[in-house]
Amino acid sequence: MHKREIVEALIFSGSGSVSEKDILKALPETSPEELREHVDDLNRHYEETGRSFRIERASAGYLFVTREEYAPYIKALHTPARLSLPSLETLAVIAYKGPCSKQAIDSIRGVDSSSSLKSLLKHQLIDIKNGKPMLYYTTPRFLEVFGLDSLSDLPDLKQFEEVFREEVREDMPDEG
């Protein structure tokens, strides 16, 4: 039995993400780097043999996900998740500025975010830190959904600010 295949079996055994900590617990004398190498090796193998899935690292854990090109078929089986534009905007504020209060979110967006917050809570993409005021922050599930290892993987917000300061719009926005 190879360690690589044991790693595969461990990740396969979880229906969602299996944390790096749990895998290392089951595989003593393995370093996180070694684990990462095995996962990379497995992914290379899947790619070479034309498999429909790969292993992804998200929020300090690993999970099997299907490749994007198979999404149209899988969508026929499961109704795909949808986030409204206001919810996405609210989520972006929390991802970049969180933990933050509802008031802070509303003031950046210029509108009331109550229903977006409710929907994001329902999808478990955000959670609330108790206190006064209540603070909203993104969950590990958020990282999983957007394929991020940590929040620091998000592109710098400054980059978006600079673009706007300098750019000259050639065409009108199309926000249909």
Number of other residues whose CB lies within 10 A of the CB of residue 69: 8
Q: How far is the CB of 31 from another protein (least distance, A)?
A: 26
Q: How far is the CB of 34 from another protein (least distance, A)?
A: 24
CA distance 69 to 74: 10
According to DSSP H, which parts of 3-135 are helical?
3-13, 20-26, 32-48, 71-77, 85-97, 102-109, 114-122
Chain residues binding another protein by CB under 8 A are 12, 14-17, 56, 63-68, 70-71, 74, 78-83, 85-86, 88-89, 91-93, 95-96, 108-112, 118, 121-124, 126-128, 130, 134, 144-147, 154-155, 157-158, 160-161, 163-169, 172-173, 175-176
Q: How far is the CB of 93 from another protein (least distance, A)?
A: 5
Q: How far is the CB of 116 from another protein (least distance, A)?
A: 10
Q: How far is the CB of 151 from another protein (least distance, A)?
A: 12
Closer residue to another protein, CB minimum distance, 34 or 92:
92
CA distance 125 to 127: 7
Name the burial class of residue 30, with classes exposed (0-12), middle (13-18) and buried (19+) by CB atoms within 10 angstroms of its CB.
Answer: middle
Closer residue to another protein, CB minimum distance, 33 or 158:
158
Closer residue to another protein, CB minimum distance, 34 or 79:
79
Q: Which residue has the tokens 């229906």?
A: 15
Closer residue to another protein, CB minimum distance, 1 or 168:
168
Q: Which residue has the tokens 């899947």?
A: 46
